[in-house]
Amino acid sequence: MFITFEGIDGSGKSTQIQLLKDMLEKRNHVVTLLREPGGNILSEQIRQLLLDSKEQVDPRCELLLFTAARAQLVSSVIRPALEAGYIVICDRYIDSSVAYQGYGRGLSIESIESINDFATAGLVPDITFIFDLSVDDAAKRAGFRSNDNQTKADRMERSGDAFFERTKQGYLEIAKKSDRNIFIINANDAMNDIREQVESIVERYL
Ligand code: TYD
């Protein structure tokens, strides 16, 4: 089973990912936990390029680097883990490219969907959770203002509040249009409530 977590920066998905992993391992499932971009040497190097670049990065270049990292992660880690019968949990996947590079940066959604499909050789998640909260709340949680260039925020995080507003709305559009199993989680709910929501949905598909 392949589960992905999505949402704008600061939406609190990492805590819930860890809680879900613990729950599944207690039930004797083998869990492979990954993050995008990353999860293998080449993809971590691409991550550094993307998040630390001091140069202006062209949106198309950004899209192709994120999806290149994804292609490597799918073929070297995700597919082998799924074939071994493991549960794979990935912090971000194809919907991040649609939300950030499509709705956020303004690239064609259709093109991104087709590049995603090419990069992953058609591998889609069984379940996707989208953590939804306001850009303001997300910024508070992440500890940065996205218009502020002086903080520890990485290159993506410095994209500005308007960018994150488009990205947030983009995630909601994705959920509305998709015929996959996508669940929107209100990230303002109490931690324990979110944990229960996530667990009960996953249990339905186990
Ligand atoms: P990360 O520090 O992992 O953010 P988070 O902890 O919020 O997941 O950095 C990943 C950043 O890259 C994040 O700002 C989202 C962005 N991103 C894209 O813009 N497109 C993509 O396809 C992916 C996978 C990530």
- Which CATH number do you get for residue 44? 3.40.50.300
CB 127 within 8 A of CB 202: yes
Q: Are strands 2-7 and 127-132 parallel, antiparallel or unpaired?
A: parallel
State the closest ligand 1 atom to the C-alpha of 67, by its place in the atom list counted from 1: 22
- Residues, the chain: 206
Please tell me the total count of domains within the chain: 1
Torsional sign, CA 157, 162, 164, 167: negative
Q: Residues lining ligand 1, CB < 6 A?
A: 9, 35-37, 51, 66, 91-92, 96-97, 100-101, 156-157
Confidence (pLDDT) at 39: 92
Q: Whose alpha carbon is nearest atom 11 of ligand 1?
A: 156
Using a 10 angstrom Cβ sphere, with 0-12 exposed, 13-18 middle and 19 or more buried, the burial of residue 42 is: middle
Tens of pLDDT, residue by residue, the chain (206 residues)? 999 999 999 998 999 999 999 999 999 999 999 999 999 999 999 999 999 888 999 999 999 999 999 999 999 999 999 999 999 999 999 999 999 999 999 999 999 999 999 999 999 999 999 999 999 999 888 877 666 655 678 888 889 999 999 999 999 999 999 999 999 999 999 999 999 999 999 999 99
Q: Best of 61, 96, 161 to mutate for ligand 1, by most ligand atoms within 8 A of CB?
A: 96
Confidence (pLDDT) at 152: 73
- Measured CA to CA, the distance from residue 188 to residue 148 in angstroms comes to 24
- Measured CA to CA, the distance from residue 183 to residue 180 in angstroms comes to 9
Q: Whose alpha carbon is nearest atom 16 of ligand 1?
A: 156
Confidence (pLDDT) at 150: 54
Q: What are φ and ψ of residue 102, in 5° steps?
A: -80, -75
Q: What's the domain range around 177?
A: 2-205
Confidence (pLDDT) at 148: 63
List, in sequence order, the alpha helices (H) in 28-184. Answer: 41-52, 59-73, 79-83, 94-96, 109-120, 135-142, 161-177
CB 146 within 8 A of CB 153: yes
Q: Whose alpha carbon is nearest atom 20 of ligand 1?
A: 97
Confidence (pLDDT) at 153: 82
Give the amino acid at 97: S
The DSSP element (H or E) to which 195 belongs, if any, is helix 191-205
Three-state DSSP class for residue 77: helix
Residues 6+ apart with CB under 8 A from 167: 8, 99, 100, 103, 104
